[in-house]
Chain A
Amino acid sequence: MHIMEGFLPVSHAIGWSAASAPFVAYGLYTINKRIKEKPEQRMLLGVAAAFTFVLSALKMPSVTGSSSHPTGTALGAILFGPSAMAPIGMVVLLFQALLLAHGGLTTLGANIFSMAIVGPFAAAAIFRLAKAAKLPFGTSIFLAASLADLLTYVTTSAQLAFAFPDPIGGFAASFAKFATLFAITQIPLAISEGLLTVVVMNALARFNAPELQDLNVTTTLEVKA
């Protein structure tokens, strides 16, 4: 989902940066507030960030003959709410943009938007829907994580199609091309991400039950409200 450095026109680069900035700022604010109120949750926040670090570094081969990587943002989004993942995703993307020339500074805004905003918000929303539909815990986590992963790549495809519409078919034709490349490649990876997220969540449920309950209480209250 990394749009490479310089591969978005100036106006798009500025636009996506402006769209992502408030999410990152609000995310930083919520993380600070949470750590002040509940310092015991620091460890879990670290686990969520670490999970994103690992998964976004793993480029896995896919059935289409391309390789791509999962994002790992769903775990943190389910635990701490979607906005917390925007700054965490930014750290990962900055690391890759500056040291690895993977992604870029001019495309940072667009990449944050797909991986650290759309993905986490989708994950949190799908998890709540699945919970409301009384699906089992593991299934809800799996659906949230794998669909969030997939939607991240659909967003990247839309961003690229928006910047580079096909000369004949326009946005739709271009989107179809980018989505074929990104989204189809991503399907097995999204399944992997879903499974790995469930594995980590199972471990969290076993060892950090009180913290998880604390976090879940807030979500059930929000669902009721």
Chain B
Amino acid sequence: MKRYQNLLMMTAVVVLVALPLWMVKKPAPGADGKEVQIFAGADERAKNLVGVISPGYKPWFKPLMEPPGGEVSSMLFALQAALGAGFIGYWYGCSRTRAKQKQALQKEARC
């Protein structure tokens, strides 16, 4: 039952991520003829919103280092996720093996 439940929850997450891709329609290009970008980062949008609310505000500090392009930055994000997922995988593998060995030992003891 538990395993079935986990599978159901994972499916729900996939649906939650996939649904917006299908639901949100790309708006027609604006008056300036520029393509409207959808699914832009909310952080980036907030940055623009600051410009709308306080047009006079000038950021007083620049990032020390900027990834030299979208590809490099997606590589770094992938690296971050891989580090985390790698560790969780390692823990899961260790735990499963440990549980299995424990079971085998108990079986042996019973014989």
Q: Spell out A's residues near B (CB within 8 Å).
A: 1-7, 9-10, 43, 46-47, 49-68, 92, 95-106, 138, 156, 160, 164-167, 174, 177-178, 181-182, 185-186, 188-189, 191-192, 195-196, 198-200, 202-203, 206-208
Contacts and interface: CB of A to CB of B under 8 A. Distances in A.
* Chain A interface, DSSP helix/strand/loop, else mixed: helix
* Chain B interface, DSSP helix/strand/loop, else mixed: helix
Contacts of B24: 61, 63-65
Contacts of A62: 20, 42
Contacts of B47: 4, 7
Interface string B78-91: 10110111111001
A200 B2 CA distance: 12
A177 B45 CA distance: 11
Contacts of A55: 84
A66 B39 contact: yes
21 contacts: A1-B43, A4-B43, A6-B60, A7-B50, A50-B85, A50-B86, A53-B83, A53-B84, A61-B39, A66-B39, A95-B80, A102-B43, A102-B73, A103-B43, A105-B64, A166-B53, A181-B46, A188-B19, A206-B2, A207-B96, A207-B98
B74 to A, nearest CB: 10
A54 B88 contact: yes
